[in-house]
Every structure is written in C-alpha cells, then in structure tokens.
Structure 1
Amino acid sequence: MIKFKYVILYVEDVEKSMNFYKNTFNTEIKFITPEKDYGELITGETTLSFASISLASSNIKEGFLASKESAKPFGIELGFVTDDVKALVEKSIENGAVLYEDITVKPWGQTTAYIKDLDQYLVEICTEIQ
C-alpha cells in the first residue's frame, strides 16, 4: 500500500506558522511537540505539517533551500478551495499574508488568487474546478 500522507513546510516559528493556517483556513491543530519544533494540522486525509528549520537541518544533512522573503516563492503551491475567494484572500492578508497574484477567473471558470504565507510559501486560494 502507498498513501500520500503529509506535506512538511520548514519554517522559522512552527507555532506562529500553524496559527496562521489555523486562523486563516479554519484548520485545527492535531499535534505540536513540547519544544514547538514540529506540529501537524488536521486538513483532511493529507496532513499539513511544520518543522523548524533547525529540526529540518538535523534531518536533512545535505542541507536545503530555506524559503526567504526576498526570493521568489518555490515552484510549488498549497491549494485551498473555497466558495468565496475574495473573502478568504482578505482574511489571509489580515492574518499576515501578502497578495502575490490578484483574483482572476480562468478560461475554464475557476476563480483563483495567490498569496505568500508568513514563511513566503505560495498558497493558491481558489474555487473548485467545475
């Protein structure tokens, strides 16, 4: 059996990053270590997880590129589906996100927008594809 189970974002402040997603996207905290260097949110079948850069560095001995404010976001995105893209974009900005690509309607009818979260990860906020 193979099952896609989680995505881990490497962040400076696990608790702060988790609270952004909790407060913006109405997720719940499943688990956070007493050291607050790793945590998981309940997001359906696939868990959104967070690890501190120091914890990640101890696991990934060859190193990795950390998400930086001055750099363009990585070529990967997290996607959240909603019926009201405008309201969720506004809520994300109120919680500290930065608008990266304004709301647009794709030729196939899907409404999309892109933000950068507190750690500069790209997040798509969109409607379902019909």
Structure 2
Amino acid sequence: MRLASIVIYVSDVPKAMQFYTKAFGFEVNFLDPDVQFPGRISGRQYQFGELKIPGGTVQFGTPALGALLMPGFPEASVSTSVELALYTDDVASVFYQAIQIGGEALRYPEVMPWGQTVAYLRSPEGTYIAICTSPVINNAES
C-alpha cells in the first residue's frame, strides 16, 4: 500500500490551487469547478481539483462535495488541522515566495536543534505548511 494523495477541503478550489501553483510551482493535473454528481443541492459549490507534486498529488475539494461523497462529513467547516510538509534545499526562497503570493508567515526559517531548517506558514485557505530541509538522520549507534 502507498499514499495516493492528501485532500484539503477549501471554500474555493480554483483560488486555492492558484496559490499552490504560484507559490510552489506545482502543476495542475485537473480542475473541475462544477462537479456534476447525483444528489447535488442547489446553491452549493461542488468543486474538485488535483495538483501534481514531486512524489504524489495534493487534491482540493469543497466541503459540499465532501458531504455529498461521505455522509456525515462536516460540511460547515473548511478549517483544517492538517500540516502539509514540503522538503526543499532552499527553505528561505520557497518560504518568502509563498509569503509574497499570499501566505501568512508563522515562523521564519531557522535551523532546529536536530539540524533541520524549518519555516512555517499558513496558506490563504488556512492550511498549515512547513517548508523544510530533509531531516538529518543520525546513524550513530547508541
């Protein structure tokens, strides 16, 4: 088994995808701004899209679509408690690019005690994003 994708629920899928493509250079695999699926309720937005990222995909859907597909899904909430961590060799450049595009700085780039460089931001739709170097692996025997 392997991870296929992470899905982030947002109120405006095209707008969220635009941030991720501009801030991080991710490529759009597909975008359906008006998903046609049985059971739709008039006046609600049913949007879905997918970005190709190195190593996988990130998908975006509206809460109305989540509720349509998964009974019991909390349609009223688009806030997330998920953190998306992205590895890069140049944390500062990626971080500041994301801030210029509309991300909110939470913690500026710094080297952690374990040797990893990490920065945190929040995307315009509210997802927490860590921009970091790969963790330093210590193979020393105890």
Q: Bin the TM-score by the shorter chain.
A: 0.7 to 0.9
Superposition CA RMSD, Å = 1.7
Residue among 103, 109, 129 paired with 2:115: 109
- Whether the aligned pair in 2 keeps the contact of 1:7 and 1:49 (CA below 8 Å) is yes
Spell out, residue by residue over 1:68-123, the C-alpha distance to the aligned partner (whole angstroms, 9 max, x if none).
Answer: 4xxxx61x311111222112111111111101122221112111011001111100
In the superposition, the TM-score normalised over structure 2's length comes to 0.79
- Give the equivalent residue in structure 1 for 2:27: 28
Match of 2:63 among 44, 53, 61: 53
The answer for the alignment partner of 1:40 in structure 2 is 50
Alpha-carbon distance in 1 for matches of 2:107, 2:78: 18
Q: Which residue of 2 aligns with 1:66?
A: 77
User: Helix, strand or coil: the match of 1:41?
Assistant: strand
Counterpart among 92, 100, 105 of residue 94 in structure 1:
100
Distance in 2 (CA, whole Å) between partners of 1:9 and 1:113 is 20
Shift of 1:44: 3.0
Aligned to 1:81: 87
Q: Residues 34 and 66 from structure 1, CA distance in 2 versus in 1: closer, same or farther, beyond 3 angstroms? A: closer
Assess, with a 3 A threshold, how the Cα gap between structure 1 residues 67 and 102 changes in structure 2: closer, same or farther.
Answer: farther
Distance 1:45 1:84, change over 3 A: closer
Amino acid at match of 1:54: A
Q: Answer yes or no: is the 8 Å Cα contact 2:16–2:125 preserved in 1.
A: yes
Does the 8 A contact of 2:88 with 2:133 survive in 1?
yes
Q: Is the 8 A contact 1:5 1:45 kept in 2?
A: no
Equivalent residue number for residue 38 of structure 2 = none
Q: What runs of 5+ residues in structure 1 fail to find an aligned partner?
A: none
Partner secondary structure for residue 104 of structure 1: strand
Normalising by structure 1, report the TM-score. 0.86
> What's the offset of the Cα at 1:128?
1.6
Identity %: 30
Further displaced range: 18-27 or 31-40: 31-40
